[in-house]
Amino acid sequence: MADAATIPTRVGKPSTGLAAFPRRASKFVRRYPLGAIGLFFVLLLILAASPARIVLTPMEVQDPLKQSIAARLQGPSLTHWFGTDELGRDQYARIVYGARTSIVIGFGVVLIAKLLAITFGTVSGYYGGKFDSLFQRVIDIGIAIPGLVFIIIVVQALSGRLPAMLGMQPDIIAIIISVAILTSTSSSRTIRGVALSLREEQYVEAARALGARDRRIMTKHIVPNLFAVVIVAASLQVGGAVLLESSLSFLGYGVQPPAPSWGRMLNDARSQLTKAPHLAIFPGLAVFITVFSFNMLGDALRDKLDPRLRGSN
């Protein structure tokens, strides 16, 4: 009988790709339960907002613009899950279609803002010196401008002058541009700080010594190492963009009727709070759950991608 010590043991190859997904997903849920909850609601929101009408219920979603005066101000029921508004429109359908507007604006804002922030923050941090000082003074001016006032001015200036693109109305495009410009200022400063530290790394010095041009160093060595910071900040800013759009719509400067919008629904519900409180409860819950979910997901991604920031606020 062979000695047990001489019997070779078969070591399985570590699972990768799709085979490792269940294990990694289970580990993520155990380590970041709030982040997993946030991810669940974010995916649910994206499915509800999908053009394919993958919604939160198997029943057919009604037309959010269809009016029925006979059914006005009804409470939640099996026919109208979230009740009806003062024009008899189905609240559930309007919240589902309003989610589409919020998702488009939230992700559109983050995409444009991060592209601007990466470009200007990386260039400013890499070159430094007088260029960096001058650019940061411009950023200081941008940060000092009252955000909501700036967005309202830009939206009012652009709404009637922009064409509809990619199935989006001009007012939605104006909101995306204005909010993206505003949020890119603070993001570029964060990215600039990371770029300042990355330009002193040895691999950057080695690339410079080998004769690599500045553009190649920034695109090949600095920008890829910014992705962790960018992903975390983006996940947190989507919720902020949704909240800002809801605030604009509540004030009457956001998405214009008859397009469904959570903020507009909250504004319309003010006159019916005593008669039909459900008109404010469900849109308010939609805004709260969306912002909370993106924030929890962003916190989990921050802890996972940058352990140095774990537990910080």
Give DSSP secondary structure letters for 218-271. IIIIIGGGGHHHHHHHHHHHHHHHHHHHHHHHHHTSSSPTTS--HHHHHHHGGG
Residue 2 pLDDT exceeds 60:
no
Residue pLDDT, tens place only, 244-284: 888 888 887 877 777 788 888 888 888 888 888 888 899 99
| Rounded CA separation 293/287 (Å) | 10
Positive or negative: CA dihedral 139, 141, 145, 150: negative
What number is the average pLDDT over the span 213-237?
Answer: 84
Helix intervals (H) in the chain: 21-31, 33-49, 91-127, 129-144, 147-158, 170-198, 202-209, 214-217, 227-251, 262-268, 278-305
Q: In angstroms, rounded to a whole number, what is the distance separating the alpha carbons of residues 18 and 261? A: 38
**CB crowding 285-303: b at 16 or more within 10 Å, else e:** ebbeebbebbbbbbbbbbb
pLDDT at 66 over 70: yes
Res. 11: pLDDT tops 60: no
Tokens of 110: 């983050």
Which CATH number does 32-63+78-309 carry?
1.10.3720.10
Predicted confidence band of residue 51 (pLDDT cuts 50, 70, 90): low
> What percent of the chain is predicted at pLDDT more than 70?
85
Mean pLDDT of the chain: 79
pLDDT digits (tens, 9 = 90+) for 101-155: 888 888 888 999 989 989 888 888 888 788 888 888 888 888 888 878 888 888 8
**Mean pLDDT across 272-300:** 88
Q: What is the mean pLDDT of residues 184-211?
A: 85
Q: What is the mean pLDDT of residues 86-99?
A: 85
Percentage above 90 pLDDT, the chain: 3
Residue 1 has pLDDT above 50, yes or no: no
Angle in degrees, CA 147, 150, 151, rounded to 5: 85
Of the candidates 90, 71, 74, the residue with the CA atom closest to the CA atom of residue 260: 90
Q: Match 């993206």 to its residue by tokens.
A: 180
Give this prediction's pTM.
0.79
Reported as a pLDDT band with limits 50, 70 and 90, residue 285 is very high
Structure tokens at 308: 């140095």
Closest CA to 269 of 129, 78, 141, 98: 98
Residue listed under structure tokens 């269940």: 22
258: cis peptide before it, omega within 30°? yes
> What is the structure's pLDDT at 56?
53
pLDDT exceeds cutoff 80 at 21: no
Smallest CA-to-CA distance from 242 within 183, 164, 156 is with 183
Residues contacting residue 266 through CB under 8 Å, at least 6 positions apart: 246, 249, 250, 280, 283, 284, 287
pLDDT for 200 beyond 70: yes
pLDDT at 288: 92
**31 vs 58, which has greater pLDDT?**
31
**159-188 tens-digit pLDDT:** 767 766 666 777 788 888 888 888 888 888
Domains in the chain: boundaries:
32-63+78-309
Name the DSSP letter for residue 20: G
Hey, which residues does 90 pair with through a beta bridge? 84
Closest C-alpha to 61, from 75, 47, 41, 42? 47
